[in-house]
Amino acid sequence: METKQQTSQDYYLDLESRHGAHDYHPLPVVLAKGKGVYLWDVDGKKYYDFLSAYSAVNQGHCHPDIIAAMKEQAETLTLTSRAFHNNKLGEYMKFVTAYFGFERLLSMNTGAEGVETAIKISRKWGYLKKGVPENQAQIVVCNNNFHGRTTTIISFSTDPDTKAHFGPHTNGFTHIPYDDLEALKQTLESNPNIVGFLVEPIQGEAGVYTPGKDFISGARALCSQYNVLLITDEIQTGIGRTGSLLAVCGDCTCEDACEQQPATYIRPDILILGKALSGGTYPVSGVLCDSEIMDVIQPGQHGSTFGGNPMAAAVATKALEVIKGWGFTPKCKTSWRGF
């Protein structure tokens, strides 16, 4: 009887199946090399990468400038923890806040950590600044959202496969249909304890669902009217993925095109970034907002060992410099708070 010969890919697929958690169901392709828009598998077959690691490598695989910055920093200083200052973090914070037009940055590692950070900031802002009674804060989220897989985040997912058998779930979230301004208005009108509206400018896991052109701008106006923080999750849509620096920048932000068609920059109160923030080379996420919001966080109330480490700061700075060099800039940095 003839037996099937095991290929190189079969070997690696078998290793993962035998020794790893079965938490993903990827395509049976084992990749070994990447450069720019291309990938190669272990058998040397070449592919175009249209997925871009869920938009984590918007700058292209192994971008030479980002890799060079990573190597240089890796040979100098990788981690101090936030028990000390380091000579990269402050410069990175200055660059990022100026680039995106905010006053403060809280640097974390993964996108889910960025979302968790935004949730904590907005809740505490609600208690200290809006006057919401303790433990009564609500955050509005959309049906079919995807913001990560931590316990709190799956608690407000509407995908039963994501949350089944992982309870008890975290409360404090109110759902509305995506792309439904009337539902958002009614919800904000009816509940004075709402502190934030957490939204993807384009829904990812829901099927790359792009809302109507007035949804995010309308949400901005409603959040300002009812003193609610607009929190945009641009982990997947940000940093050049949609043809603009951020999805909320509108249809056009590049300098040349804007001479004919000016962009509309809808400024959130809290901006969450990740993925391409490091060009796909290192886990880096960030939460940006102004001092009036960020300053509710005090020492010991949030952070992580790796958050804001010098390696992350050097890599993320270079990754953003690459994007900026391609002409991606917000056209307007005017706050809509108090609209």
Tell me the residue type at 162.
T
Q: What does the alpha-carbon distance between residue 253 and residue 240 come to, in Å, rounded to a whole number? A: 10
Q: Which 3 state secondary structure label does DSSP give 221? A: helix
CA torsion 273-276-279-284 (nearest 10°) is 30
| Total length of the chain | 339
- Check whether the bond before 192 is cis (ω within 30° of 0): no
Active site residue 159: no
Residue at token pair 């940006």:
288
Q: What is the DSSP pairing of strand 285-289 with strand 270-273?
A: antiparallel
Active site residue 146: yes
Q: What does the alpha-carbon distance between residue 206 and residue 233 come to, in Å, rounded to a whole number? A: 14
Active site residue 233: yes
Write the CB contacts of 3 (distance below 8 Å, at least 6 apart in sequence).
none
Tell me the residue type at 29.
V
Catalytically annotated residue among 88, 197, 233, 318:
233
Element housing 106 (H / E): strand 104-108
Tell me the residue type at 155.
S
Residue at token pair 């102004």:
290
Catalytically annotated residue among 275, 306, 318, 328:
275
Residue at token pair 């077959």:
45
Residue at token pair 């099937």:
4
Write the CB contacts of 239 (distance below 8 Å, at least 6 apart in sequence).
55, 58, 245, 246, 273, 275, 276, 277, 319, 320, 323, 328
CA neighbor of 327 nearest in space, from 99, 57, 70, 67: 99
CA neighbor of 276 nearest in space, from 88, 54, 73: 54
Q: What does the alpha-carbon distance between residue 231 and residue 223 come to, in Å, rounded to a whole number? A: 10
CA neighbor of 196 nearest in space, from 140, 246, 153: 140
Catalytically annotated residue among 102, 146, 306, 328:
146
CB contact at 8 A, 60 and 37: yes
Give the residue numbers marked as catalytic: 146, 233, 275
